[in-house]
Amino acid sequence: MQIRLTALAALVLSASAMASAHAEDFKASCAALAQGFSGSGRVVTAEFVAAGGVQLAPPAPAGVTAPVPDHCLIRGKINERTGIDGKPYAIGYELRLPATWNGKFVFQGGGGVDGVLRPALGLLTGTTPPNALSNGYAAASTDSGHLEEPGPLGPYLFGLDPQARRDKGYSSIPPVAAAAKAAAEKLYGTAPRRSYFAGCSNGGRQAMAVTQRFPELFDGVIAGAPAYRVPLAGIDVIAQEQALLAIAPPGADGKADVGSALTDDDLKLVADGVTAACDGADGAKDGMVQDVMACRFDPAVLACKEGESAQCLSAPKLRAVKLMFDGSRNAMGGLIYARWPYDPGLAAPGWRAWKLGTPKSSPPNARNLTLIAGGVPYDFMSPPETPTDLVAWVRNFDVDRDVPKVMKGADGFDAGMEYEAATSTDLDTFKAKGGKMLFYHGTADPIFSALDTIDYVDQLKKKYADADRFARLFLVPGMNHCGGGPATDQFDLLTALDTWVEGMAAAPETIRATARRAPDVPWPGRTRDLCAFPKVQTYKGSGNLEDAANFACR
């Protein structure tokens, strides 16, 4: 017995020694990447990072971290140059390569107007577990070729350099992808055998762009709430802000208090009206509108009657609400962007943050009056416009005069719809190589309409009779932009994509989703299956409404 125990102890010690030696080899190999690798540009950092937590970038709250394993962290700069504005530019990137690698790579898309080097974790949103790095994938991110400058207009000033526009739109992705694959090959001795792109919002647009512009780069993509027509979406929400500015009461400074244009009670009134009209269509009155395509809610039913002033919408408020969902139009009656689905998630904090902002905020902090109102003139218009007062610029915006400025380039600047949009349905090369696409979109998204994503997928189906074999769309009822809202907004699309690409599973028909545990979620822990569009999650007729097992996609 003593001999057996001694032998077992020796085996344990030997395994421990081997693991320790492997760890030291990994650390040394990681440090060696500081000397560079193919396409690395200038390596700024190459260091070993022990398992723990990594702080997520804004808009994630301070203190929110993501778990990470032992890994090699690399940061670098590619194509360092001086722009026509005399400022320094470079394509900044971050790579995280796990000590225990699954042989695959995820390029994490950006967000907003980029200009921020976010942790390369393979995250889609701050609320969607798990992250790719923790599951063994190598991961990359990029600032898309520029860094935010200080000041309220700082995020948008890159748009004054034509190459920075192109880098943000699409041209920063290939060099970072090449560098990431070269770093993996040097560290592990082999290149990734699968490569994926995953992003939401601008990252979702980038995911679509790579299938159209660089179809050989990735085996599959995840496109969440894709900003694939963001210049036109931006103009649509600017028209919405004009309507809100027109009805906003004056604040303490005498200027329009946009955050109070519609009160929380107003939004709840509309949300409750949508719920009453459309919730039961899926067989269950559970506070979720599953079939938004069948929802025929008309906010006119909420109009104040003579003598009423509470629990109803005044005529000016009703006009603003209708514009926000019917979509803005030009003088000829043509739709500028898209219509928007009615969903109870419009009463959630995330919806307010984009459309209205905080009541009594001076200056107004609605993201459509900051991020969008800054991005359209500086980033999308050609040549760029440079307003210093974004609210005044929004007030003076004219759809018929100004829409052409985002459509066609001038004075050496590409326009937004030329370099930023990702509207092509020519996916022959991506499809032929076996590429796969997963789309997802919250039906209460306040910045990009889920109906616009549905339209793109419908166009794919018209072009390709077998589109379902390489592209699937999943709508998320109640979800705001990329996450949040009264929704089952926690789900794992990367595993679904990976098993589909690898041939281990057929095209996904359902994705299991769970409601996060947060104060603004009425039913924390609720489960539902997201259904491949156009199927809709439908109650079977009996059983607990909190359990996805009692629903089916029909």
Q: Is 489 a catalytic residue?
A: no
Neighbours of 347 (CB within 10 A): 23
> Given 114, 167, 445, 529, which residue is catalytic?
445
Neighbours of 149 (CB within 10 A): 13
Spatial strand order in the sheet of 220-224:
42-49, 71-82, 88-98, 138-142, 104-108, 194-200, 220-224, 436-442, 471-476
Distance CA 443, CA 520 (A): 17
Q: Tell me the Ramachandran region of residue 115: left when phi exceeds 0, alpha when psi lies from -120 to 50, beta otherwise.
A: left
In this structure, are residues 217 and 206 in contact, taking their beta carbons and an 8 Å threshold?
A: no
Write down the residue that tokens 């027509």 correspond to: 229
- The Cα-based distances of 84 to 89, 162, 198 in angstroms read 10, 8, 32
Q: Is the dihedral of CA 328, 334, 338, 339 positive or negative?
A: positive
Identify the H or E element spanning 359. none
Distance CA 177, CA 470 (A): 22
3-state DSSP assignment of residue 360: coil
Residue 58, preceding peptide bond in cis (omega within 30° of 0): no
> Given 134, 171, 172, 201, which residue is catalytic?
201
Return the exposure string of 282-311: e unless at least 16 CB atoms fall within 10 Å of the residue's CB, then b.
Answer: bbbebbbbbbbeebebebeebeeeeeeeee
Q: Is the dihedral of CA 267, 271, 272, 274 positive or negative?
A: positive
SS (H, E, C) 322-344: HHHHHCCECCCCCECCCCCCCCH
Distance CA 373, CA 43 (A): 35
Write down the residue that tokens 């647009």 correspond to: 205
- The Cα-based distances of 322 to 21, 299, 301, 308, 328 in angstroms read 66, 7, 12, 20, 10
Spatial strand order in the sheet of 510-514:
490-491, 510-514, 527-531
Sequence-distant (≥ 6) Cβ neighbours of residue 106 within 8 angstroms = 122, 132, 137, 138, 139, 140, 195, 196, 197, 198, 494
Token pair belonging to 92 = 């900044």
Q: Is 201 a catalytic residue?
A: yes
> Given 71, 449, 481, 529, which residue is catalytic?
481
- Tally of CA atoms within 13 A in the half-sphere of 422 that contains its CB: 27
- The Cα-based distances of 19 to 81, 98, 101 in angstroms read 43, 15, 15
Strand partners, 48: 72
3-state DSSP assignment of residue 223: strand
Q: Where in the sequence numbering do the catalytic residues fall?
A: 201, 445, 481
